[in-house]
């Protein structure tokens, strides 16, 4: 079967690496990856634990399909208690790290305690070592990755690394693997940094076996055919990537602009996926070089781009890593809106540069851009001045200022370290918490809740704080997948969100990418799992597992003090109507949707998981 | 004076843009009192099998009823193939 049934537990305080069996009983209830690691977290890390203390634990975990020939099966997740939100954190990444972990013979790597000095973890199949990282502590992800490859003399080495931001305590630091794939949200890189761990560098040569190879080949081939023939996964995503959404969301009046004051951005088309294809004046090349795929992916939505060599961000900058003058990953839609429309910046190359900085130093561009946007609003309102910003004229639309802030957050210095605490803490510190566009302390993604009502409910109830990847009802409300619903309606959105949230939790626990769900349902996932691992895996069982995972996360958050009391949107969403477009005059209908949501979840009217629901789900 | 609307084509549908269109994907299109979305699609020879999202002033037009929708002065009509992201 495609589980190795082995866990590598690394105690950084003691300096030990100890193999232990995977809890197979829990895989029956929580599948793998997101669900399974959350179960470990809830059993091992008390909900009141300080996220940046040695008592917090970090789980890097694969799913049952990770490392197999199923499409997109290179995924792994990082689960821990978040230093940004205080809630459960689960960040999912692609690239080639997860499959390598599985091929080395490990389903999960657990980091517990805290090393007294900077270290990295070296894993070569069964051999695991904790090694000194003094030479790469203080270096960027890209520099550390090069050093690790040179030291181990292995071009196939796969590295997951934190940047300087993660070392310095920036609360939305990411873990970057394969140079530009990120376990991006909720500050999982910050937790890794707090443990004095710079990198995990691993190499696996064992391969992955499946339970029934013939059935698995048939199931995965049939599922790949669905992806290939689907217009979104077979054509749309490879051609323009996530950035194709920029114009769609802007045209429908749901584009967050100027710290969510407005819902459309005049410069949207200049920073869109289509704009990335236009040849520039300086060298006749477009921003986009090509698309890219992660391990085993047959969609290949990733972007590989260059920055205009004559752009101010890179021109005459010999101090920059050479990749700024060549290629890196991006620009993705979530980075483009947060660093672009939310800050009022329509300079495509400035945004690409900022995304490259996020890659190099391990930052979540959503939290970064949103925090800068909040600071810009406070600067324009006179709440903060150049005395606070270290001399930066932080007006909306100022690309130089956005870049300066990004560079400072990346190395956790001065005003950058203050911005690095996230929008909620920044706005609170300056006396205006209402200007922070966050839920549970995590910054909003790219869809205005006044214009796409279901997403507002999704942000408010998301277990990891505001997020689009926990219940992406944009698929239905905007794109018509699987069926079109009215984005301005609140009726029926509770049930829609719950369906998306439960299914997503199952996808996230299987070892595959959530983007397959544009074409696949759980009906398509179940046969692949059924052939890969022991047991009977049906779509119904996966749906129930998704619901169980959601409730488990919720119970942990309740005990951590960020349960029902945190199910709310910023006052701007509830009282400042959308200023233009189809949603003009509308605010979020959260007050209508939330009671329905609680009822349909089987929770109390106050939003607590009831004893009956716990019993039904075996929690 | 003739009435006109703005037509916008995005993503793979951009190959159907007239040569004089702007960077913001749009171009003017003349209409009269009876011009419908369906007429416009056929007049511009837009590929019906590729069109997926149609927004009239930002509001989604569903596939079953959009052909009969009558356009009015100043409308903005946008077309996309099947797209997604996140």
User: Tell me: the pLDDT tens digits for A555-596?
Assistant: 999 999 999 999 999 999 999 999 999 999 999 999 999 999
Closest-CA residue to A35 (of A396, A509, A460, A368): A509
Q: Cβ atoms within 10 A of the Cβ of A21, count?
A: 9
B85 within a domain of the structure (yes/no) = no
DSSP bridge partners of A181: A177
Residue A242 touches chain B, beta carbons under 8 Å: yes
> Is pLDDT at A64 greater than 70 in this prediction?
yes
pLDDT tens, residue by residue, A423-468: 999 999 999 999 999 999 999 999 999 999 999 999 999 999 999 9
B22 within a domain of the structure (yes/no) = yes
Tell me what ipTM this predicted complex has.
Answer: 0.96
DSSP state of B28: E
Domain count, chain B: 1
Q: What does the pLDDT average to over A61-80? A: 98
> Is pLDDT at B23 greater than 70 in this prediction?
no
Mutation to test the B interface, candidates A267, A274, A331, most B Cβ within 10 Å: A274
Q: A584: nearest CA in chain B?
A: B58
CATH code, domain carrying B45: 3.10.20.30
Interchain pair A239, B12: CB under 8 A: yes
pLDDT tens, residue by residue, A251-296: 999 999 999 999 999 999 999 999 999 999 999 999 999 999 999 9
B73 within a domain of the structure (yes/no) = yes
Q: What does the pLDDT average to over A378-393? A: 98
What are the tokens at A182?
A: 């990120």
pLDDT tens, residue by residue, A487-519: 999 999 999 999 999 999 999 999 999 999 999
Residue A333 touches chain B, beta carbons under 8 Å: yes
Task: Check if the beta carbon of residue A342 is closer than 8 Å to that of residue A402.
Answer: no
Interchain pair B60, A484: CB under 8 A: yes
B86 within a domain of the structure (yes/no) = no
In chain A, the domains with their CATH numbers are 6-203 (3.60.9.10), 257-436 (1.10.569.10), 448-617 (1.10.599.10)
Q: For A274, which of B11, B53, B84 is closest by C-beta distance? A: B11
Quote the minimal CA–CA distance from A518 to chain B in Å: 8
Least confident of A2-11, A116-125, B13-22: B13-22
Interchain pair B83, A582: CB under 8 A: no
Measured between alpha carbons, how far is A550 from A544 in angstroms, rounded to an integer?
10
Q: A236: nearest CA in chain B?
A: B83
Residues whose CB falls within 8 Å of the CB of residue B78, separated by 6 or more in sequence, listed in order: A247, A251, B7, B8, B9, B10, B25, B53, B54, B55
Interchain pair B23, A270: CB under 8 A: yes
Q: B15: nearest CA in chain A?
A: A274
List the domain range (segments joined by +) for residue B56. 3-80
Q: B24: nearest CA in chain A?
A: A269
Mutation to test the A interface, candidates B11, B23, B57, B83, most A Cβ within 10 Å: B83
What is the pLDDT, as a whole number, of residue B84? 87
What is the pLDDT, as a whole number, of residue A175? 98
Interchain pair B23, A248: CB under 8 A: no
């Amino acid at each position: 079967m495609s589980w190795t049934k082995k866990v590598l537990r690394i105690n950084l305080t003691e300096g030990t690496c100890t193999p232990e069996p995977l809890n197979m009983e829990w895989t029956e209830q929580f599948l793998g990856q997101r669900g399974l690691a959350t179960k470990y977290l809830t059993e091992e890390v008390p909900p009141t634990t300080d996220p940046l203390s040695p008592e917090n634990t970090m789980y890097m975990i694969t799913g049952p399909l990770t490392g197999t020939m199923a499409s997109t099966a290179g995924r792994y997740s990082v689960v821990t208690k978040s230093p940004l939100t205080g809630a459960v954190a689960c960040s999912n990444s692609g690239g080639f790290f997860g499959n390598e972990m599985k091929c080395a013979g490990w389903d999960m790597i657990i980091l517990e305690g805290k090393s007294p000095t900077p270290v990295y973890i070296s894993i070569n199949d069964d051999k695991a070592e904790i090694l000194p990282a003094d030479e790469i502590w203080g270096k960027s992800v890209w520099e550390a990755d090069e050093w690790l490859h040179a030291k181990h003399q292995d071009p196939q080495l796969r590295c997951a690394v934190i940047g300087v931001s993660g070392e310095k305590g920036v609360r939305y630091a990411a873990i970057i693997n394969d140079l530009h794939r990120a376990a991006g949200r909720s500050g999982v890189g910050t937790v890794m940094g707090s443990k004095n761990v710079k990198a995990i560098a691993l190499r696996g040569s064992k391969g992955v076996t499946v339970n029934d190879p013939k059935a698995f080949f048939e199931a995965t081939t049939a599922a790949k055919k669905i992806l290939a023939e689907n217009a979104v996964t077979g054509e749309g995503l490879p051609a323009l990537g996530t950035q194709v959404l920029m114009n769609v969301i802007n045209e429908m009046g749901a584009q967050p602009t100027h710290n969510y004051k407005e819902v459309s951005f005049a410069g949207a088309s200049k920073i869109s996926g289509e704009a990335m294809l236009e040849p520039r004046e300086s060298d006749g090349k477009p921003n986009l070089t090509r698309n890219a795929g992660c391990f085993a992916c047959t969609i290949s939505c990733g972007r590989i781009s260059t920055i205009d060599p004559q752009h101010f961000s890179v021109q005459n900058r010999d101090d920059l890593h050479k990749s700024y003058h060549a290629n890196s990953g991006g620009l993705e839609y979530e980075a483009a809106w947060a660093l672009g429309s939310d800050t009022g910046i329509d300079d495509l190359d400035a945004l690409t540069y900022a995304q490259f900085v996020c890659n190099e130093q391990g930052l979540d561009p959503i939290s970064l851009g949103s925090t800068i946007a909040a600071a810009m609003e406070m600067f324009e309102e006179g709440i903060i001045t150049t005395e606070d910003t270290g001399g930066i004229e932080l007006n909306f639309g100022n690309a130089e200022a956005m870049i300066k802030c990004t560079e400072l957050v990346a190395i956790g210095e001065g005003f950058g370290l203050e911005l690095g605490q996230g929008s909620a803490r920044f706005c609170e510190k300056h006396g205006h918490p209402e200007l922070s566009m966050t839920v549970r302390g995590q910054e909003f993604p790219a869809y205005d809740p006044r214009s796409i009502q279901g997403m507002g409910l999704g942000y408010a109830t998301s277990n990891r704080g505001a997020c689009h990847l926990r219940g992406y009802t944009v698929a239905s409300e905007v794109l018509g997948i699987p069926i079109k619903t009215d984005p301005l309606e609140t009726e029926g959105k509770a049930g829609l969100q719950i369906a998306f949230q439960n299914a997503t939790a199952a996808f996230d626990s299987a070892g595959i990418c959530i983007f397959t769900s544009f074409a696949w349902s759980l009906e398509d996932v179940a046969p692949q799992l059924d052939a890969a691992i022991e047991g009977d895996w049906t779509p119904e069982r996966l749906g129930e597992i998704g619901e169980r995972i959601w409730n488990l996360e919720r119970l942990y958050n309740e005990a951590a003090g960020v349960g029902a009391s945190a199910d709310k949107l910023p006052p701007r969403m509830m009282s400042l109507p959308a200023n233009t477009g189809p949603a003009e005059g509308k605010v979020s209908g959260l007050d209508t949707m939330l009671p329905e949501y609680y009822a349909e979840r089987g929770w109390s009217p106050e939003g607590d998981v009831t004893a009956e629901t716990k019993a039904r789900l075996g929690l | 004076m003739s009435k006109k609307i703005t037509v916008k084509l995005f993503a793979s549908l951009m190959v159907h843009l007239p040569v004089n269109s702007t960077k913001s994907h749009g171009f003017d299109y003349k209409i009269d009192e009876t011009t419908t979305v369906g007429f416009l699609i056929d007049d511009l020879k837009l590929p019906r099998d590729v069109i997926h999202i149609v927004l009239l002033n930002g509001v989604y037009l569903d596939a079953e009823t959009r052909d009969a929708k009558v356009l009015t002065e100043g409308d903005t009509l946008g077309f996309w193939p099947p797209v997604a992201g996140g």
